[in-house]
Amino acid sequence: MTAPIRNAIVAKLNTVANIGRVHEYERYANQLADLSALYTWDAGDGQKQLRGWFVRRVGIRESKPSESLFREDISWQIRGYMALSDAAASELAFDDLIDAIRTAFRADDTLGGAVDTCWIHEEAGIQMDDAGPVLFANVLCHSARLILKTRRHF
């Protein structure tokens, strides 16, 4: 069952300061304004910004390393968007946010006990798979695709 792992990933993301809105799955809407609203974050100072993330399971591998033990490796995609402002050098803030996410996951290899480890095949914690500008909900945004691999034995 992967729900506890997904919940632990979302909870860990929500510990990162100024992360924005975090969804446990990719949210969709028929209208661009509705999609934008799903990913709009209120910084608390009256300023609102498109800044949001979602978690998706993108791969699963199961093996049996011994007679009494199964091993499950899951690949998770964590996708984020943040409105781009060249004048505010928002790319630097987005890079800092990604680094803060990486630090949060590095500090808790078991996601609070939900998995045995997030260190698989010499990769530890969050990996950034891709980043760059995109048009999301009709807003020019920074975007990043992060990958997390989890392992549990049962």
Q: Where are the domains of the chain?
A: 3-74+97-153
Helix or strand (DSSP H, E) at 147: strand 139-153
In this structure, what are the phi and psi dihedrals at residue 6, rounded to the nearest 5 degrees? Answer: -60, -45
Rounded mean pLDDT, 113-139: 91
Place of tokens 């007679």: 67
Span of 8-12, 119-123, 142-146 with lowest mean pLDDT: 119-123
151, 117 in Cβ contact below 8 A?
A: yes
How many H-runs (helices) and E-runs (strands) does the chain carry?
Answer: 3, 8
43, 49 in Cβ contact below 8 A?
A: yes
136, 49 in Cβ contact below 8 A?
A: no
Rounded mean pLDDT, 16-23: 97
**CATH number, domain 3-74+97-153:** 3.30.2000
Token pair for 112: 């609070």
CA distance 70 to 46: 50
Q: Which residue has the higher pLDDT, 120 or 39?
A: 39
| Residue of 100, 121, 118, 101 lying closest to 109 (CA atoms) | 118
Give the confidence band of 69 by pLDDT, cuts at 50, 70, 90: confident
Rounded mean pLDDT, 58-81: 89
> Does the reported pTM lie above 0.75?
yes
The chain-wide mean pLDDT, for the chain, equals 93
Tell me: pLDDT of 18 over 90. Answer: yes
